[in-house]
Structures are given as structure tokens and as C-alpha cells.
Structure 1
Amino acid sequence: MTPERILLIGLDGMTFDIMKPLAEQGIMPTCHDLMQRGSWGVLRSTIPPLTGPAWTSFYTGKMPGNHGLFDFFKPSAVDNAVGIGRRLINSREVDGRALWHVLSDHDKTSLVLNVPVTYPPSKIKGAMFTGMLTPSVQGNLTYPEGLYPKYQPELGDYTITINWQSYSEHDAHRFVQDLIHCQHQRTRYTARLMDDWPDWNLCFPCFTETDRIQHALWHYIDPVEIEKLKQEGRYDESVRELVLEFYRQCDEDIRVLIEKAGGTDNVPVFFVSDHGFGPLRGKVMMNHFFAQQGLLAAKQAKVRQAILMILWRKAYQKALKSVGLLKWYKARQARAVTTRVSGAAKTIYDIFYESIDWNRTKVYLGSNTEGALYMNVKGRGLYGDVDPGIIEPEDYLTVRAEIINALKSIRHPDTGKPMLTYVGTREEAYPGKYCDIAPDIVFFFDDGAWLGDFQLGKGAFKPSDWKTGSGTHRLDGCFLACGPGIAQNRGGINTEIWNVTPTLLGYMGLPVPAEMDGKFIGDAFTDEWKAAHPVQYLEPGEDSGAGEVSGADVFDADDQEVLVDRLRGLGYLD
């Protein structure tokens, strides 16, 4: 028997390193019950484990090399002094049909709420509230259009995201309470969608609040980090209790949705996260390092301009705080990320790219969110008509090996030990049709505990603090399935994030499109169910094909500024 409907819950950044002990301690009893009654295990994320590419891999069933997104940003020709820059990704640039599009093809109804990289909303059978990278609730964030103004008077305000940097380090209590409220609101909006589309087949709310609390307060979540706080005399029991209350309320929201859907006896429940989590120790200033190695050259006057811009922004925010306006400023995502030059908005990325002497630069870290390096190769065309390349294509492999060797030389500032724990080439990390536009080199320092930072002129290393957060992403996310035909109390499932959508389709008795890289997660199901329900994989030409990729930039200048500042508020840019 295949299910008519599935409740799929996204828990951004969740890991069983957190969920399992909290479930066993009775703090997350609903999750404990689901683990006892279902199959669960590690869901390996994309490399690096980034929110945008990972959720896109989840809902398309594709690896990044085949859906074409590697970061929140894409290299792009822009209107600045050098014509080189970055622009934000959007749902129209995804090569592949999302899970809900495939279900629509089969006349199935989907309810999708708050999933990252779904803006602008697309036409589906069902309803959608877009998620992260949605500029504003005042715009068109829903399909059908107009759902938010219809629901808001009854349900209250809907928040796209909570940025911890808009809170003081000493205001953790208000931050966590706001996260709890935001998650409750997502639950209420999801329940309302269930009421208005009672014949739904897939209901998929995504809770991003789990990611936010783990970025900001990992030192109050991880037992090892808690012990360090106690040893240093900085531990606050009230913050720890509030963190535990967040997870209690998260579990309660999950229980409410399961009950609303009809209970686990009637509706299968799946959990999925886009990545796991671990401690953040600090940042390695990569472009500073490359400059020291002679692999990057900077125009010092431009570097000073970038530093002054950052200092101006910090001073401006300090002044606003002194007169009680910082909260107002942050809440409205004011344009602190920009200066004004000849009437045009100039982002910190523009300043960075203008700071580089492209005639003497071989490699650079393009953004803090990417964890990957681009080489300055001739003839690439990543920036339209602008071609800053100096590396001859025939020298590519030799220079890449030189850069990898340089990465291996980076030593920990305290221990003196090598920091590089993973390095991969574009062919290894991003196989597929978009490999030729992917970053050239992907790397992890200290298994992800140290991140690369793109900014110049700030020294070699930067320790973590409230602005960077105390936690950051890891590869090991979580997968859980509970329902008819699914093995009970079976841990140890290990699979990749692009395998979940093919699994959901196969479980519902639908064929897996040929375009998908993922496969059915057979280890999660009983032998009897698999024998009675063989999964069908379509061959090329047997399905309706890939979705359209417009490549359109849907964000205007104001949208770009708001969203870049919001990413900064989530710790991705500072």
C-alpha cells in the first residue's frame, strides 16, 4: 500500500547529535516516539554543506553539479568599476523540477511553506509560501498570490527569518523567545493551509529557527562547549534553560502538525535537514593569505576604502544604538551594507572586487558563504564581456595543484598543526553538466570548525564571536521516516540529501524522473514493502523533462541590498 499523503518537516541544520540526546532526555518526546517507530540516520549534505545548494539538491533530487547552484551568490557582470561581482540566486535559476512540480504533474496537491530558494513562487497544484531569500512579506511571497494579506489579520504577522545579529549578545532571552514565536507562527500558517486545501497529498513546512539558534547559541547546546563556559565562569543557567525550552516547543510544534495531519497511524511523517552542526572556532582570512603567498594582489587604496566602509558601518550602528534606533534600523534591514557612489548602490562585494588587481591575481575566495575558491582563468566568461583571466587554460591543472599545496601549508594559530582536513577539485565535488562554472577548489579547515573569509586587510585569523556565531554547518544532517512499510526502530540509515525526493516519489507509488541523480532509500523500508512496491525509474524521454531555467535576476537593487544585509544578520558575511 502506498500512502495518499505525507507530512514532510524540514528542520534546518538539525543533527542527531542534538535530537537524539534531547529525545532520550524527554525534552523532545515526539521525536523520540518517531525514532522508536521509524527509520532514521545521517543525511549527508552537499560539499560544502550550504543552505541554498543543499535544499535545492533535496527538492530536485539532483547534485549541485546538475542543478547549477553552489552558493547564495553567482558570479555575474555588474555595474561597478571592474564589471565583476556577485548576485543572489533565485528559484528560476534552478535546473530541475522541484518535488512539488513533479507531484503537480501527477495531479497531486502540495503545501509548501518557508523552504529556502523558492522565491519567486511558482505555479503548483496547491499552495506555497516562499522562504529564505524572499525580500519582503509585502511582495509576492505566495502562490496563489494574495494568501498573506488574507491570512495575516487572523493569524498575525509572518516572519521570513530571525537574524541573531539584530540582538545584543546579552539579549539571548528575547532572541530565543522570538524564535519560539516565529516557529509557532509557521505552525499556525501550515495548519491553515491544511484547512484550506483539505485534499493535500504533501505538506512540507520548513523550520529554519533550528539553524538560527544553533548558529548563535551552539555554546549553550553542545555539552563540550557548555563545559568550557563553566570552566571560564561565563555560564548562565537561564540561557541554557531557555535553549532547552526552544527544543521543547519545537517538538510541540511537530506534535501539533502531526495531529493536524491525522496522526502517525494515518499519515507517514518524514524529517529532513539540509546539513548538520558543530562548533565554529574562527575564520581564516583567505584572500589575505593568498596575497601573502603571491597568488593574489590587491590595490591598497581600494583595500583602505573597504576597511573604512566597514568601520563606517560599525560606527553608524553604534550611533544608532546610542539613541535607541538600532532595533528599528535592523528590523527594516536598512542599507548599512552599501555606500552611495554617483547615485548607485555599491555593496561590500563591489568594493572587494574593485580592490583586486586582476592582472596579478590567480585565485580568490569569492564569498564567505561558499567555502570554495575561484581561479582567474582566461576565457571563462563568468562575467559576461569582462574577462580578467591571467591563467592560461593549458596551465590550469599545474596552478590548481600549486594552490592546493598552499592550502596545505596553513597552520592552526594556536597548535601549529595543519588546518586543512578536506580539499576537493570541481570534478570531485561537483560532477555534472554545470561543473565548468563551479568553483575550482572546495576546502574544509578543522572539519568545518574554521571557515574561510573573503575580506582583505584584517589579518590572518579571526576568532569566533557573537557576530560570527558559535556554531556552523557540518555535513551530517538528519533523515527520519515513520509510516506503513517503513522499518521500525532502525537507526544507522546513511544516505545523501538528493536521495530523499526520489524516495518520497517511490513511496507514493510514482516514478522517479530520469533527470534526478538520487535513488530510493531502500534501507529505510521493510523487505515486504519493497517486494510489493518496486520503484520505477524513468528513462530519458519517458517523463516531461527538466524544468525551465530562465537565468533571470528577479531582484532589483533594493531587494539585493535587503537580502545581502539579511545574510549578514545571519552571520554569513561578517
Structure 2
Amino acid sequence: MRVLCLGLDGADFDLVQELRGQGKLPTIGRLAGRGTFGPLRSTIPAATPTAWSSFLTGLNPGGHGIFNFSTNPNRSLERVESAASRGGAPFWRTLGAAGHRSAFVTVPFTFPPEPLDGVLVSGYGGPLEPAILPAAARERILERHPGLVTAHHPMKERWWENFDGFTQKLLDHVDQIADVCKLAMELEPDLALLCVDFMSADFAGHLGWHRLDPNHPAHRPEEAGDELVRVYQAVDAACGELAEEAERRYGEEPTVLVLSDHGMKPIYWTFHLNRWLEEAGLLRYRRRSLQRLRRTRLDYLAKVDQRLVRTRKPYGRAFDRLPLPAAPEDRLFADIDFGSTRAYAFGYGGQLFLGEASGALGDAGLERELVAALEGVRHPATDEPALEVHRKADLYHGPFVHKAPDLVLLPRDERLHIDASRWGWEQPFDRHEQLDPAHAYGYSGHHSLRGILAAAGPGIGEAPLPEGAEITQLPATLLALLGVDASLDGAPLDAILDREGTREKVTVATTAASEESVYDEDEEAAMLERLRDLGYE
């Protein structure tokens, strides 16, 4: 059996359903007609590193420990996260132990690369230039594509100056990654599983929703465009080509799954969580700090300042009395006075932490008060309750629960984006009418929980996707298709499988998550700058 697992990154269920009904996504349409199609629930938070880490390991975030692109330094050593800091075992190890060869192409959070029985091309969430294993594959792939990147960075390439040009780069990247997949098939005549992610679809969603949606607050009729649809169509076409190539090369019909790691909704309003906490008297910003010295000759002073404000309760207020320059408006994490802060937001997807230095962590009464107050926040347009609030204990289990947020906020209206930035916003709610790359990253779309799964071919029955199907279940499902059983948090989606027979039980060693960064200081600084540009830090 040959299995293709093809990622339409960030593809939104409702939009795909609409386009499928219009006949604009024929590959997904064929899969849905012959097998299964439905919404695939992402992780909470629906963040790229979190969702793909659950896809790779079959574990909930408390089991693999990745909640964001970088760690909350109050809960772990400060670093940019990577595959080395993830717990669990990527399921290519299980495949290899069962004698199956695999290829993983630009799947996010696969750097640093790990040797496997097959081919690995690292993806988003690492260096822009992918790492490729083995050496023979690297030589062959880079010979064909010498300028290969994991994804085109929209801020670095100043997308707002020429959106048509940037869209063309996204479309060209789809073709390029599809060709890399064909090279992987050529290099691996015994390939059992090919996994790939097309990151272009995610960036098209972040950047293009206001051009597609005439009701978007930032929509301008003279700037209307279907770039988001065109990228979805390009990936759909690439998936069809890869299925055809696999059948031609291997002489058998492949089993094809098309998935997304999360959905993508237009942003109509933004809820600035740290601003709300500040107004509630639960968060205090410093008036003075040494964070302006970061990455200067006096960088060591900024690091000392950061450590003290996070660990010494009186430090922030005492430092404010000194005759020093004011903290910048674009505040860094260490510009929060943690000794006086009882709750703060960090990372993507509505993550809220109780204050450590202030002694609020573990305060059950404060947690109850926060839940009640946040559930009472009203939607700016409808005056209905705006937020769902979930407690850590209800979401996560495993060895890394200590890294998890204490509460996670989800919008009841998915057009509401929950923001953790530390800018000096005037009020908690903003209508998202201006797309300013300097302040709000220029994004008009954001991640949501409902992605997609479409699947058909040998081993897949004609059955509806079970309600509540999750991305965490896909590793066990892919293993089951190939006759392998593994003990993972996510059980296989047996309702869509029609293969009978026993599954070989395979156990592999799990990785002890490293506390050390795989990047040097300059690399970390560059990656953090890119992540802040993209709104993730």
C-alpha cells in the first residue's frame, strides 16, 4: 500500500466546503465523493507548532510540550522551540521499526532533522533553508531547486508593497514543493508513506481574507481579489498531480488524505487580552526598563534586567523610580512588571498564565474570578458573551502540563481574534479596519479550530468523518492503514477505515525533550524577530 498525506496548511472547513460545492477543488471533491470528508479539529491552541507536533507524535500538547513557537520563560528555560525540545516520538520511527519507508517534506517543526528510513526535508518553524536528509537526497533536491525555502516570509518580502507578486511566489512555491515530493518518490522506490505540507495556503489565508470577503472591515472594493482561492486551487491541483504520479510510478492506486492543521477565519474584531487584564488591575507594565539594550553592546544588562523582573517581586516598581528612559511602546515580554502582575497573556491562541513572581500561580480563587469575569465579556457588536474559557486540567495531560497555560480563551464568534501583544492599545476591543504591518502584522485572517480531512483509496471506506475527529488521531490512522498499531493519545479513526486484519504492535523509544536551544544567540534573535513580525510572539 502507498499512502499520501497531503497538507493544505490552514485550510478552513467552511471555505473548502463552499469551494468544493462550486467545483473549484476537484481533487478534494473526488476524495469526498469516494471516501470521507469533514471537519478536523485542531489542537488547543490552534497554533502551527502545537498542531503539527500533535500530528507527528499522536500526543496532546501536555504530552509533547509544545504550546507556542517559543517558551514562556516563566515556565521553562527561555528558547525558541524545535523538534529537539518536543517529547514523544515522531511516527516515522514507528514506521521504520515496522519496515516501512517514508518521506516527510516541509512538514512544520521537523528541525533539527532526525535520520529516518527515507527522506526528510525540514519545514516551517526552523531555518528558512530546509535541512535535507540523507545527503544524496539533499544533493538531488538542491540540484533541481537551489533556492529552496521552507516558506516565503511575508514580512521579510514586504508583501503589502506588491501583493500580486507575493501571491505568485506562494503559487510558485506550491509547484516547487510538489516537485520535491516527486523527487522523493523517485529516490524512494519502496516508499510507503509520503507526508507534505504546503505552507503557502496558510499565508494566503492570513493575508488574503480581507480581499476575498466583501464584509471584512478592511475590505476595499478596488482591492478585491481571489488570491486565497487561487492558492487553495493550486494546492488542490498539486495533490491531484501527486496522486497521479504515485499511481504511475508505483503501479497501484495510492490512498490519499488531504488535511489541514487548523482552520482560518477572517478577523473582524480583535480582543487585546493584556489590555483587558491591565484595565482589570491584574497586569502592570513597567515605566522604565533596560530592554532597549537588547542586542547592543550592553545586551548583558538587558538580560539581567529581564531575569530580575521575572524573579524578584519588588524589582519592577523599584526600578521605575530611577531616572531612565521610558519603556518602548512596542513592549517586550520583560517590560511586564511580573512582581505586580497576577495574570498575563503569552503566545498565540488565547493563552493566559497566572503570575509566578506575584504569587498568583496556584490561586484557585483568582482562577475562578478570572473565569467568571472573562465569560462575562460581551461581544462588541452583538452584546452576547464573547469568550469560552477552558481550564488547563480539562485540556491537557502528560509530563509537560507545567508548561501549559492556566486558562485558554476561545472566541464564540470565530471572527474575533484574541491577541496577546503588549502594545499600548487604547481599549481591549478593536474593529479590524486597518491592516498595518507595523502594529497588527497586516493580517486579515487568523487560525481557527476546524480544519479539514478528505480521504479515499484502498483502506478508506465510504463513510462520514466521525464528529469530533482530531488531528491528534491522524498518526494512529496512518499507521493503521499500513497495518501498524502504536499506543498514542489519539486513537485511529476506525470509522473511516475498511481494512480488516491484525495490526502489528510496534513500540519505539521516545525522545527526552531537550532543555537546550538548537540555535545560537544570533539565530534565536533572528527567528524571534520573524515570529514577532508574524504576530506569534
For the aligned pair, the TM-score class normalised by the smaller chain equals 0.7 to 0.9
* Residue of structure 2 equivalent to 1:201: 192
| 2:128/2:149 contact within 8 Å kept | no
Matches within 5 A, 1:54-453: 54-76=51-73, 86-137=78-129, 141-145=131-135, 147-148=137-138, 150-165=140-155, 166-169=157-160, 171-221=162-212, 225-227=213-215, 234-236=221-223, 239-240=225-226, 242-262=227-247, 266-302=253-289, 339-340=295-296, 342-343=298-299, 352-367=332-347, 369-377=348-356, 388-391=357-360, 393=362, 396-420=363-387, 422-448=388-414, 449-453=416-420
Deviation at 1:561, TM superposition (A): 2.0
Letter in 2 for 1:472: H
* Residue of structure 1 equivalent to 2:326: none
Aligned partners of 2:465 and 2:243: how far apart in 1?
Answer: 21
233 and 487 in structure 1: CA distance in 2 versus 1, 3 angstrom threshold: same
Aligned partners of 1:46 and 1:23: how far apart in 2?
Answer: 25
1:62 counterpart SS class? coil
Aligned partners of 2:143 and 2:509: how far apart in 1?
Answer: 41
Letter in 2 for 1:292: E
| 1:283/1:453 contact within 8 Å kept | no
300 and 405 in structure 1: CA distance in 2 versus 1, 3 angstrom threshold: farther
| 1:493/1:524 contact within 8 Å kept | no
Unmatched segments (≥5 aa) in structure 1:
79-83, 310-336, 378-387
TM-score by length of 2: 0.85
Q: CA offsets per residue over residues 203-224 of structure 1, 9 Å max, x none?
A: 1111111111011111344xxx
2:148 counterpart SS class? coil
Aligned partners of 1:107 and 1:365: how far apart in 2?
Answer: 45
Q: CA offsets per residue over residues 34-93 of structure 1, 9 Å max, x none?
A: 111111211111112111111111111111111111111212379xxxxx9842111012
Sequence identity percentage: 26
Aligned partners of 2:32 and 2:61: how far apart in 1?
Answer: 30
366 and 202 in structure 1: CA distance in 2 versus 1, 3 angstrom threshold: same
**Structure 1 consecutive aligned stretches of length 4 or more whose deviation exceeds 6 Å:** none
Worse overlay, 26-35 or 180-189? 26-35
| 1:297/1:360 contact within 8 Å kept | yes
Aligned partners of 2:381 and 2:533: how far apart in 1?
Answer: 29
* Residue of structure 2 equivalent to 1:501: 475
Aligned partners of 2:398 and 2:468: how far apart in 1?
Answer: 23
1:340 counterpart SS class? coil
Letter in 2 for 1:355: D
| 2:94/2:507 contact within 8 Å kept | no
Letter in 1 for 2:481: Y
TM-score by length of 1: 0.80
Q: CA offsets per residue over residues 162-192 of structure 1, 9 Å max, x none?
A: 2333334352211211100111111111111
Deviation at 1:458, TM superposition (A): 2.3
Q: CA offsets per residue over residues 422-458 of structure 1, 9 Å max, x none?
A: 1111101212332233110100234442212230422
* Residue of structure 2 equivalent to 1:383: none
| 2:349/2:418 contact within 8 Å kept | no
Letter in 2 for 1:178: K
Aligned partners of 1:191 and 1:132: how far apart in 2?
Answer: 20
| 2:107/2:196 contact within 8 Å kept | yes
144 and 100 in structure 1: CA distance in 2 versus 1, 3 angstrom threshold: same
* Residue of structure 1 equivalent to 2:319: none
358 and 246 in structure 1: CA distance in 2 versus 1, 3 angstrom threshold: closer
Q: CA RMSD in A?
A: 2.9
Aligned partners of 1:29 and 1:167: how far apart in 2?
Answer: 32
1:499 counterpart SS class? helix
Deviation at 1:392, TM superposition (A): 6.9
Deviation at 1:562, TM superposition (A): 2.1
Aligned partners of 2:302 and 2:20: how far apart in 1?
Answer: 47
478 and 408 in structure 1: CA distance in 2 versus 1, 3 angstrom threshold: same
| 2:36/2:455 contact within 8 Å kept | yes
Aligned partners of 1:168 and 1:503: how far apart in 2?
Answer: 38
Unmatched segments (≥5 aa) in structure 2:
307-330, 436-440
1:26 counterpart SS class? coil
121 and 61 in structure 1: CA distance in 2 versus 1, 3 angstrom threshold: same
Aligned partners of 2:96 and 2:448: how far apart in 1?
Answer: 33
